Chains A and B, each alone.
Chain A
Amino acid sequence: MLRPIKICIISRHVKVRQPHILSRPLITGPPPNIPPKHYQTPTSTPLPHPTPLDPSFQPDPETGDGKPLYVPGSPAERHASQGRRSSPLRRGMHESWWAKEMGWFNAVAKTIPTFRILDEEGNLVKDGMIPEVCQTHLQLSFTYKIMTLIPVVDNVLYQSQRQGRISFYMQCAGEEAAIVGSAAAMRSGDEMFGQYRESAALLYRGFPLNSLMAQCFGNVEDLGSKGRMMPVHYSAPEVGLHTITSPLATQMPQAAGVAYALKLDENRQGDCVICYFGDGAASEGDFHAALGMNSVLGGPCIWFCRNNGFAISTPIIDQYAGDGIASRGPAYGLDTLRVDGNDALAVLTAVREARRRAVEGQKGVLVEAMTYRVGHHSTSDDSSKYRPVEEVQEWTVVDNPLQRFRAFLVNKEWWSEREENDLLKKNKADVLKAFARAEKLPKPKLGEMFNDVWAVAKGEEVPHVIIEQRAELGRLLKKYGDVWEPWRRERKRYVEEGEDVMDCASRGS
């Protein structure tokens, strides 16, 4: 289910091809009479096969008109065009017809296809669409640049966590196309809710490397969380990123709220929300609450699922028994698409279209990007305990989002080996420079611990519990800050070495 049929292995190296685009037939899945091939690894254990509508089930010819189960337009529009008539329509939201026999089903359509533009080698699929974005390659090459930057960032920070230089890190290896491709489809005024693995989207939106590093080190330049949050928990209103928090799916109903606010705000017509979440988060109650509220109340929102096969160790076979996350879109009446998450061009094209639908219809749109989490869940995880290392290696070789997209750009003569080499050098230099800088900076003032707990209106006082507790720590620091060795050492890490808290009269800076 997760993985498309592989028919060839591509080389690790950039292939410079003839300028004309090779094309091959679109892979649509196994023909119906051949059982699908199943791999014996947890992610590819066969899901229960969705049963399409019973082919023998037909609308009653006398009362039905053979219309498909779902039709475009809202019930109100249909009601206006068709008038009131005796129909199940009056008892529910969707087009239906009276039937004399039971027609059980457990899928709303036949198995949901996965949209792609490029195959694993980066060639356009035969008779596939040539998206509008291909008319200019500037955006595509910028997308590619960010896709190549993030592995360098991830690598440096991952290794630094291993050396104890930062406390935690999460990589996005394997999901670069899904994350950057979707970010590329959004516009600068849009709002973004991340789960926690979308730092590449943040970089695409112009979040500086220095700020990213500052957050991961929790140093004095971490303006987002002022050293309070774990690494990768960015907060960047300047690029529309709402604060990342660790709980899963909590961002989703919030995104629905933002979408509704955009819908009401005359000055923000044309803006859109994108909300990222994973296959695991979609099991939380908040997922259903969010889609339900957004579908009823409206507001432009793209629900972007990174279906990477795992929630920490839990494979999707333990996560859901239906047809992925996409099958849930129609349940809420949302326009829905499943896309090959390792095909940057398809993701970009799909999310552009999703954005158009969301903004024009002032409604939610669900996109499920099928990808694979090549990295460990986080630095606290060792995925070899629950999935074969070979499976991971196979993904990096057989279906590598970076290589696919690069091959396409090279085919089109929009990218060259020289540019590639220059970019890799530049990325490495930029990242190491930002890293070195961030590591040298001290931690914020100790008093930041007590600031911002309650939002305080101008002219109002900080609540007394905070003032008193801050003063209590100040008193203790004055008494023990020099004579108690662990504290003497520890407070040196902070700007002003805790002196700001020792000023007991201070009401926060």
Chain B
Amino acid sequence: MGSTINTPVGTTETLVLNMGPQHPSTHGVLRLVLELDGETVVRARPEIGYLHTGIEKNCEALTYSQAITLTDRIDYLAPLSNNLGYCLAVEKLLGLEVPKRAQYIRVLLTELTRIASHLVWLGTHAHELGAMSVFLYCFREREEIMKIFEYVSGQRMMTSYFRIGGLALEPPPGWLEMVDRFVRIFPARMQEYEDLLTENRIWQMRTKGVGHLRADDAIALGVTGPTLRGSGVAYDVRKAFPYSSYEEFDFRVCTRPEGDCYARYLVRLDEMRESLNIIRQVLERNLHEGPFRAEAPGVIPPSREKMKTEMEALIYHFKIFTEGFSPPPGEVYQTIESPRGELGVYVASDGSPRPFRVHFRAPSFVNLQALPRLVEGRLLADVVACIGTIDIVLGEVDR
């Protein structure tokens, strides 16, 4: 990883092609150095670092609450998943119990995030293989989800809606109806994508048997998420290490044994259906009553009313927003299932109001390691299909 390919000038039959960092289908600024023999890829080396934002280091300069806004920007297609991972980690550090209602709403919104993220994946992947219309259909449905996010949190993408101990705000009235409407229309829309792709001969030709990843290879490379499940390994953090009350919901871990691009495509489609299934179950719970964040004086901002009537609450409010809160010294590691795979958040505290170290185990970064394995020996056109199905977000790869 990271070493460029050097071939002696004028002595080889191969051609070194720089794919990216500016290229229509490298999902941002991935640079791929390819050694080609005709159209066949002999070697492939991903070069990363073009979107390094220093988010992990920046977290050390902010208070625990302030750092949430940075997590949105790691995997910018699934901001709420990052929020959730980080908040769960800090809550673990504090030993904080989040009210059930907030947990359910978190589940609902992260599953919506999963659908939105998979929609972007499907759209871009299909576009890269030449099916232009699917891209716009996917973005049409994603827009509905973005509207829900905007209505609930005030922001379409960088929501920062999950806060330590619960949610940022009481969700506005009528938002559940919006979710309900989406849940009702979405299955028919998914059928539209499937009509265009699943049985399409050209689509199958482009994805079946392409980018094969064996299960043991996938495990050895640390690949997680739909990319791993497409190789037949039924590993899902939501089942293996449930968090945020996922154990209360009934859902399937979608797998396919084939391990090719088509399998990964089907897994993600199935996952969208399962997410919808989870959302339906959440909607049956009581989401209208109950606190939307935990009671923890000194850590979680008190309600407006308390602040105006209680001296202590006023002091805590002031302290939380000026210097922040100080968790006990120690370190925690929390994993969640982000749309891309296992997102791990490591937070170390030295007892000060700012984290000593924050690290994200980014699934995109790890999954990208599998790319050379997928494309070497295959055709140039398959590179595009493979980048598409491992579904990387460069913001997350470089952080």
Determine if chain A interacts with chain B: no
